[in-house]
Amino acid sequence: MAYDHMGLISFAIVLVSAFIHGATAADNYTVLDGQGWRVTSQDAYRNWAANKDFEVGDVLIFNFPTNQHDVAEVTKEAFDSCNGTNTISLELNGPARIRLNTSGDHYFICTFNGHCNAGQKLAIRVRSDDDAVSPSRSPTSPPRSTPGSRDTPDNYTVLDSQGWGIPRSPDAYRNWAANKDFEVGDMLIFNFPTQQHDVAEVTKAAFDSCSGTNPISIQRNGPATIRLDSTGNHYFICTFPGHCNAGQKLAITVGSNDDAVSPSGSPSPPRRTPGSALPPQTPGVDGANPSGPSGPTPRNSAQSIAVSSLSIAALMSLAIAFLH
């Protein structure tokens, strides 16, 4: 009979241990979900991280093709300046798995030439298991301020995931620009295959006539990053034969950091009335998640502890009942 009692006690201990392990298991987060670790707007990474509850022990999974990207953990200064010279760690082969071993802010960039400046950078905040706080926001994703009060520039990937190309709709670029708040210092990222497209900044007359003869500037290699250095209207076209006439042209209005105006849209035509626009997709809104919910839901430490305690007590009660 003593052996039966010992067996029941051992069984109860195994059950309790298994439960505790399941309740405290780390989570895996695939960075940017199905899109993977790639060149895109920094807002995409900010929005992805905004509703995540990262804890010590969790794992970040960076999906990328080897020899096309890498992932480096860096200091905040290196993150801000996109400097991959002295990294904390560097993973060259994809997919890369990085375990979050410490609480606090963590910064990741791609060290391939131009990728970080084009937006391939991720900043997150990690809390310890003992922090009974609400889910942490990304350290670089404060709530979007009102126009004219932004402290840091934003990156905008032109036409988002579709990239810079001949659009499916003639209004695609107009609609994309209409709800954007472009300011001096912001970056436009034109994603396109080299030798299939280019991007030229031109005058309004050249924009209207699709003339690429005397551009203000021209970028022939993709992805191309263009900094908005002045206020006013800016016009961009593809100079490949027929592309501009087929709709591959973008016009935007850039405000200064001191302009307290409503978000600027395309200078032509006027902004659409409510109901005719696409759903708002303002970059940088804290908590936005354009790709939908993904990954584990935020964890509540106090609730988890309470549930764990009750369940452990129940299991121990069962073990005692068996003994009697």
Please report, in tens digits, the pLDDT of each residue of the chain (324 residues total): 555 556 556 665 655 555 554 445 678 999 998 889 999 887 889 989 988 999 999 999 999 999 999 999 999 999 999 999 999 999 999 999 999 999 999 999 999 998 999 899 999 999 876 654 444 334 444 333 344 445 677 889 999 888 999 998 889 999 999 889 999 988 999 999 999 999 999 999 999 999 999 999 999 998 899 999 899 999 999 999 999 999 999 999 998 766 544 333 344 333 333 333 333 333 333 333 333 334 444 454 444 444 455 455 555 555 555 555
CA distance 19 to 305: 12
Helix (H) or strand (E) holding 301: helix 301-323
- Using CB atoms within 10 A of its CB, is residue 186 exposed (0-12), middle (13-18) or buried (19+)? buried
Long-range CB pairs of 263-272 (<8 Å, 24+ gap) are 263/147, 263/179, 263/180, 263/181, 264/180, 264/181, 264/182, 265/177, 265/178, 265/179, 265/180, 266/173, 266/174, 266/177, 266/178, 267/233, 269/174, 271/178, 272/178
- Tokens for 69, please give them: 């990207």
CA distance 293 to 313: 34
Domain ranges of the chain: 27-143, 155-254
Distance from chain centroid for Cα 122? 7
Model's pTM, two decimal places? 0.42
Q: Which amino acid is at 227?
A: R
27-143 belongs to which CATH class? mainly beta
155-254 belongs to which CATH class? mainly beta
